[in-house]
Amino acid sequence: MKAIIYIPLVALLSLSVSCKKFVDIDPPRTELSSESLFVNDKTATSAMVGIYSDMNSYNYFYANLLTMFMGGMGSDEFTYALTSTAEFEEFKNNNVLSTNRFVGQLWSEPYAYNYRANAVIEGVTASQTLSPQVKNQLLGEAKFMRAFFHFYLVNTFGDVPLILDTDVQKNTNLSRTPAAEVYKSIIADLIDAKNLLAINYPSTGERTRPTKGAATLLLARAYLYTGNNVQAEIEAAEVISNPNYQLLQGANMNKTFLANSPEAIWQLQVVNNGGSRNTWEGFTMTPASITAPVAYYRLTKGAGGLVDAFEPGDLRRTNWTGSYTTTATPPLTHTYPYKYKIRTNPGPITEYSMVLRYAEAYLIRAEARIQLNKLDLGKQDLDVIRSRAGFSTPLPSIASIPAGMLRVEQERRVELFTEWGHRWFDLKRWKSVSGDATKTRADDVLPLTKPSWKSTAILMPIPSDARKTNPNLTPNPGYN
């Protein structure tokens, strides 16, 4: 696997330069060995926070538009508004080729970062000189990140190689690990991370490094995805009770995606902010000017479209989307994602890229409770989310689990749109309401906007480069 081979130690050492905004660290000497990197707290911390820095350094990287783009185009959230490339069209039409460079990045970048997380785990574990507090924090962060990367790999590609060390010779030819086994490792890593990480953020107030809250939320999500609704409810409840977080109400909804907002559980800074960028999401999704208001992405409309999924009076529609009218004859009005408000700003950075946020905990607990037939309690969690969105009247009583799941689907769709592929993963993991056990919710929903939809498109193809490098990688069903 190409991604696992090309991570030189020099890349690990260079991180302390690129991550200066995350933590104040002295730049390392170029002759540092991997052992000396983990001798003191500062250089060891540089190895960890450099991963966050590099994840979000450039446009269409794994941790910004790439994940949003795959999930939004692959599901039914938006289409690309400008002149599209063949590779964009493949996502739009769900006929992604194994040679698509973006699908290659969705594979190679998480594995590259996973290698670095494994290097931190090994280096920190072996170190005898780190302070106990820093050692626990770094080990917790690295295990959290290893779980995070495997979570997105398994949900994008299905069975994937489970890489838990830096043994390149062994890992290069690993076969695909069954998804259930990958999830067991994800959950084990998150339990360890939760026990190791601090509950509070650093004294600077920056929410750009994972804490116990981040590990707990991702653990709740992993339990939900694997059908362990009892544990999903427990972990989500723990996040909800954490005093570090709160839902922003009314007009304050527009502050949700600000740097270090009280709804943020984990965010990433854009360290490459040339041209006065705040986030890559805002730079790409927000129109360039009022006089030429053309956004790169347009929310889908019409039958099955996202625009018409919002109920009248939903503050998420008025606060988190924007619109513009073309000069065509007749003029057309389009809607675009507007969670991030700033395209460019010469002043201080005010927005960060959101990775995990508090509202998801309520949605996880609501779904888990409804699946456990705790219908009234599940409805109460949905009402909390809806109240924040401007609905003063609670939902009517939910009569059944299937009816409750349709309410969950609605709220997740209009709350989490264009964030980290949530909609895409939801449609893949839920069963079809038709009763056909071989179908998913994607088979029910996506033909409304994608006439050529095929069931096998719920998984991305294993990239051709990875298969050339590792002959033990088998293709996904429906791909050559």
- The answer to which of 19-28, 100-109, 302-311, 400-409 has the lowest mean pLDDT is 19-28
Residue that wins the pLDDT comparison between 344 and 425: 425
Give pLDDT tens digits for 418-440. Answer: 999 999 999 999 999 999 999 99
pTM (predicted TM-score): 0.92
Give pLDDT tens digits for 158-207. Answer: 999 999 999 999 999 999 999 999 999 999 999 999 999 999 998 888 99
pLDDT level of residue 290 (50, 70, 90 thresholds): low
Listed in sequence order, the DSSP H helices in 130-264 are: 132-157, 168-171, 179-196, 212-225, 229-240
Domain chopping of the chain, boundaries: 1-210, 360-445
Percent of residues, the chain, with pLDDT higher than 70? 91
Token duo for residue 17: 């330069």
Phi, psi of 299 (to 5 degrees): -65, 145
CATH of span 1-210 = 1.25.40.890
DSSP state of 177: B
CA dist 164 to 114, 117, 153, 472, Å?
8, 9, 14, 18
DSSP state of 204: T
What are the DSSP E strand ranges found in 36-137? Answer: 78-80
Strand 333-337 relative to strand 321-325, pairing? antiparallel
**Is-cis flag, bond preceding 178, omega within 30?**
no
Give the pLDDT mean for 290-309. Answer: 82
Single-letter amino acid code for the residue at 286: T
* Cα 445 to the center of its chain, rounded Å: 22
pLDDT level of residue 292 (50, 70, 90 thresholds): low
Give pLDDT tens digits for 106-161. Answer: 999 999 999 999 999 999 999 999 999 999 999 999 999 999 999 999 999 999 99
Token duo for residue 326: 């073309």
Q: Which residue has the tokens 């090994």?
A: 122
H/E segment holding residue 382: helix 375-388
Give pLDDT tens digits for 354-370. Answer: 999 999 999 999 999 99
Whether the predicted pLDDT of 309 surpasses 70: yes
Give the pLDDT mean for 257-281. Answer: 88
